[in-house]
Every structure is written in structure tokens, then in C-alpha cells.
Structure 1
């Protein structure tokens, strides 16, 4: 085995290979042959998956300066040296299935990094410096011990897919709603009790996976037109139960919104974040206040309650009530056009909904999607309506 390893490295050096495969070699230590003399200046991709490595050499960047992809999946690596930040050309780093407990802040120096996989480790927190990875497109931190995510993640402006399944997360940073290119967010099998009410406002976010969060009772109404469901944790029993495809279609502004079908979502093209506006100063509502409804379904979040009261108090056909002196435009746009109506009582809903799944029997569409049943998702304005709503009613 050792002779085969030496031969593979020798040939790679002689022929100036850009790719080197050292998977399944039973390596306990990083091969010194890769670090001798000038190293392998020409190497771009190094595959060392499923070995027994416990650490990385400090001079890795000096000997492999042109490395753009490093795959270390399924080793026993417990520590990443601070010198990892010197791999300035690195675009893909896979450290899944290792023994990592800490990620050093220097990882934020990998400014070219596009894909970072840290799944199935023992991480209890992530460094805020991850927010410095402006080119990062994929981040997988599933199957760790994380209780929070870095607030500075919203600075990863290129982030498209964020996976944090099977952790201990109780909430998500509201700043995640600011990610402009986020397309898929997977937070299955955590301890989530609520989601940021702005989640789903971005048109780019299309897939949200939050199944197996037992305390999560409601969803932000902006998720009406998204795909919500199972993130790969599928079993025969939950295949249908958790893959929810939203069939609600968006509609444009319409003064006759009261005549629309109950639950139909309306598109709001210029909705601003609900907040307190004092002259030129904008003060967002505190997250603690906005999440007041997460512990019990008897108390609505203050933002939702305010929207419903203002909506009911105004006659929207009377122009005199639309003056900005009474309501700022950002608030006016929100309370005038609800995003949907309760399937049970037709109450308008603005920021939060309670979903209820009804698996239906075979339909014509079932054969198209190779499924035996098709699910219908009802949306209610409160826990009370959720409990009393039935398709037969």
C-alpha cells in the first residue's frame, strides 16, 4: 500500500498532474511526499476522502499554493490550522464527517471559497468570519451541535443554498432574510419554535425545508408561494406528508381583493419592512416583540395584530384615510393588501399563517408526479381556526 502511494505521488509530480486521488489509502498522516522540496505547485484538486487523518500540515498553502479544491470527507480531523486561510485560491472545501469541534476564524480569509461543507462534525458554534466569504454559494453545516447561526451570514451575498439540518437551532437570524440570492434553506430536524416573519419575501427563495421541528406551529405568510417540505430525511411514511408544493398562485393588486378566493395570495410589489418611522429615522420592531406568538397560539405577534386592527379600522374605499400623515407608506402598503385569508374564517393574514395538511386520495395529477396521493395545505389565522378547520366543512 505504501509503495502504491509513493508511486502515485511520484508520477503526479513527474507528469505535473492537476488532480491527485488519494482516497481510501488508510492514511493516518498527511503524506510528506506532497510537501517535500517545492511541493506540488501545479496541483489544483486533492482528493483524500475516507482516510484516518487527524490534522492538516501548517505549510499546506506554501507547498500547494494553487489548490482550488480540497476534499477531506470522512477522516478524523479534529483541528484545522490557522494557516488554512493562506489557501487564497481555494474554491471548494469538504470537511464533512470528521471530528471538528471548532472552526478557526481564519477560514474567513478564503475569499475565493464557493462551497463549504462541514456536515456531521461536533461544532457548537460557527465563527462570525464566515460572513467574509462573499463568493460562498453553498454552506452545509448539518448534523452538528449548533444552537445558533452567525448573524453575519447575511454578508455572504452569493449564498444560494444553506443547509443546517439536524442541529439544535431554536431560531434563525432575521438577517438571513436579506440574502439576495438564497434559493434553498434547509433547517429540518431542529428545535425551531418560530421563523423570521420576513422569510420568503425574496423572490429568489423557492425551497424551505423545516420538517421535523416539533415546536414549529406557524409559518410566515411570505412562504405561501414556496415549496415547503422534506429535505431528504424521507421515509415511506413522510414522503407524502412533508413534501408540500404550494399551488397558490400570486395575483396582482386588485381593489376587489375581498372577492378573491379564501387563502389566495396577493403579490405586493413594493412592500417595505414594517417598522416604526419617526421622521427620517426608521426603527424596526424588536425580534423579541415580533416573536411573541411563538410560545402559544393564543397570542398573535404584535406586528400581525397591528396589521389586522389597522386593516379592520379603515375603509379602504375612502381616499381621505390614505393620507401619509396618518400612516407611513410602508405601513399603509402592508395593511391595505393582505397576503392571504384564513381558510376557516376568511380573516386577512399579513405576516404569519398556521398550515394544516390534508393528504388527498388519488387524482389525475397523482399519476403525473408518480405519487399515489396529492396533498392540500390549508392556511389558518390562528391555532383555534387550525383545530376547527376541516375540508368536509
Structure 2
């Protein structure tokens, strides 16, 4: 077996192969033949699926500097060396089905990376530096132990497909709504009780899968008429937290996202001064706010400054930005086109409006 491996690598060096397949080789360590002398300077794709590797060499980038794709699916890798950040040309990295407990921050230096797959590991968190991967199009972190996703993920402006099924996610950062290239979002089998108010506002987002989140009883109505997987959502369990905000219609009670600080009543005609001030600031500086180095011409507390850059949501009726108050309106699923598709009515849509007037006049069909 060793002689066969040696011959394969020798031929790859002699014939300057760009692709090297070392799948199913029962490898326990990274082959030293790949790292001898100048290494394989011309190699672009390395496949090492279903071996028993536990680590990667520190000089990987030095010996294989032109790697574009690295497939390490189904090994026993526990840690990624910091030196992986030196693979400047790497576009695809697959570390699914390993034993990873930590992803090093240096992964954020892979500025050419387009596809990152970390499914079925033991990750409890992701480094914020993932947000530095501006070219990233696919991120799969399903079947891990994640309870949150990094807020800086919204800086991955090229992200098209985000999969985080079978984790322990209780909420999603509302900043994900700023991913205007996102086409598919899959968060099945988590612990979600609500979704960000603006989720689905982008026209690019067409596929949302939140199946088997038993505490999830409501979906933002921006998701109306999109392709939605929601079977197994909702339950007959009573919400025990008396402080949890909710909106009710008959026997249906929908918990509202924790990011909503206050709920306006239908009879309320005057908005809080804080909300009026924030809306006025946002309206005046909405274009400038898109610049990362822009600061409003007045001092604001950090919490309000963060809201100014990323509002809680936008009115489903008139698109007005909302910061501290919303007016929720509930639409049971049986009133929508999806009722016939799923044959169920436990999951409803919730519209979030900026005023009582918008709430009264908003309808899903409009």
C-alpha cells in the first residue's frame, strides 16, 4: 500500500498533475512525500476523503501554494493549523465529518474562499473572522453544537447558501437580513422560537427551511410566497416565560422576537420620542450609513448606534425602518397559499408594521 502511494505521488510530481486523488488510503498522517523538497508547486486540487488523518502540516501552504480545492471529508482532524490562512488561492475547503472542536481565526485570511463545509463536527462556536470571507458563496455548518452564529457573518456579501441544520440555535442575528445575495437559508432541527423581522425582504432569498423547530410558531410575512419548509414547526406546548412578548388571535399565540422591545397598541397614535428621533436620523443619513466609516453628526449610545446601522426591521406595509416599537399583525397559515401545500395551520405569518394605520391596512395579498 505504501509503495502504491509513493508511486502515485511520484507520478504526480513527474507529470506535474494539477489534481491528486488520495481518497480511501487509510492514511493516518499527511504523506511526507507531498512535502519533500519543493513539494507539488503545480498542484491545484487535493482529494483526501475517508482517511484517518488527525492533523494537517504547518507548512502545507509553503509546499502546496497553488491549491484551489482541498477536500478532507471524513477524517479525524481535531484542529486546523493557523498556517492554513496562508493558502491564498484556496477557493473550496471541505472539512465535513471530522472531529473539529475549534476553527482558528486565521481562516478569515482565506480571501479567495468561495465554499466552506464544516458539517458534522463538534463546533460550539464560529470565529467572527468568518465575516472576512467576502467571496464566500456557500457555508455549511450543519450537525454541530452551535448555539449562535457570528454577527459579522453579514459581511460575507457574496453568500448565497447558508446551511446550519441540526444545531442548538435559539435565534438568528438580525444582521443576516443584510445578506442581499442569500438565496437559500436552511435552519432545520434547531431551537428557534422566532426569526428576524426582515428575513425574506431581499428578493434573492427564495428558499427557507426551518423544519422541526418545535418552538417556532410564526414566520415573518416577508417569506410569504417563497419556498418554505416548515413541517414540524410549532407545538401545543404552553410558553412558560410570562415575560415573553406575544401576539394572539383566538387560540393562536405567536411569541415575538426578543429584539422587539415594545409593542404598540392599535389605539396608540403617538410614537415614542426615541423612535421618532431614530427614524428621522435614519431617513436623513440612510445612504451615508452604508459607509463603514460613517459616524452621525452627534453622539449616540452604542446600543442606539448599532440600531441605526441595522434597524430591528422594516414595515411590511410601507418599508419604514423601525427601531424600538412595532405593530404586529397575525395571519394564520390557512389564509395563505401555503396552507394547501403543507396541509397544516400551526405555523402562521406575522407582519410587523410601523404604525397602527399600517397594521390596519396591511394584507398579505397586497
1:204 equivalent in alignment to 2:204: yes
Match of residue 86 from structure 1 = 86
Q: TM-score, normalised to structure 1's length?
A: 0.66
Counterparts in 2 of 1:170 and 1:352: CA distance versus 1, 3 Å: farther
Match of residue 57 from structure 1 = 57
Q: Deviations over 1:10-46 (max 9, x none)?
A: 1100000000000000000000000000000000000
Equivalent runs, 1:159-198 vs 2, <5 Å: 159-198=159-198
Match of residue 246 from structure 2 = 293
**Cα distance between partner residues in 1 of 2:114 and 2:267:** 46
Q: Which secondary structure state, in structure 1, belongs to the residue aligned with residue 9 of structure 2?
A: helix
Counterparts in 2 of 1:22 and 1:381: CA distance versus 1, 3 Å: closer
**Cα distance between partner residues in 2 of 1:19 and 1:137:** 23
Tell me if structure 1 keeps the 8 A contact 2:17–2:43: yes
**Cα distance between partner residues in 2 of 1:374 and 1:220:** 18
Q: Deviations over 1:327-382 (max 9, x none)?
A: 96979x948659xxxxxxxxxx9756465469x9xxxxxxxxxxxx8445665669
Match of residue 101 from structure 2 = 101
Superposition deviation, residue 180 in structure 1: 1.2
Q: Deviations over 1:220-263 (max 9, x none)?
A: 11111211106xxxxxxx6xx78xxxxxxxxxxxxxxxxxxxxx
**Cα distance between partner residues in 2 of 1:155 and 1:309:** 39
Equivalent runs, 1:122-271 vs 2, <5 Å: 122-229=122-229
Match of residue 76 from structure 2 = 76
Correspondent of 2:264 among 295, 302, 306: 306
Aligned length: 291
The gaps in structure 2 that reach 5 residues or longer are 234-243, 271-275, 284-310, 320-325, 352-366
**Cα distance between partner residues in 1 of 2:222 and 2:229:** 15
The gaps in structure 1 that reach 5 residues or longer are 231-237, 243-290, 315-323, 339-348, 361-372, 383-393
**Cα distance between partner residues in 2 of 1:139 and 1:74:** 17
RMSD of the TM alignment (CA)? 3.4
Structure of higher CA gyration radius: 1
Q: Which secondary structure state, in structure 1, belongs to the residue aligned with residue 264 of structure 2?
A: helix
Superposition deviation, residue 3 in structure 1: 1.2
1:7 equivalent in alignment to 2:10: no
Counterparts in 2 of 1:22 and 1:109: CA distance versus 1, 3 Å: same
Structure 1 segments, 4+ long, off by >4 Å, are: 298-305, 307-310, 327-331, 335-338, 349-355, 376-382
Superposition deviation, residue 294 in structure 1: 8.7
Tell me if structure 1 keeps the 8 A contact 2:193–2:255: no
Superposition deviation, residue 217 in structure 1: 1.1
**Cα distance between partner residues in 1 of 2:220 and 2:317:** 18
**Cα distance between partner residues in 2 of 1:298 and 1:206:** 24
Counterparts in 2 of 1:336 and 1:176: CA distance versus 1, 3 Å: closer
Q: TM-score, normalised to structure 2's length?
A: 0.71
Deviates more, 1:39-48 or 1:299-308: 299-308
Counterparts in 2 of 1:11 and 1:171: CA distance versus 1, 3 Å: same
Superposition deviation, residue 79 in structure 1: 0.8
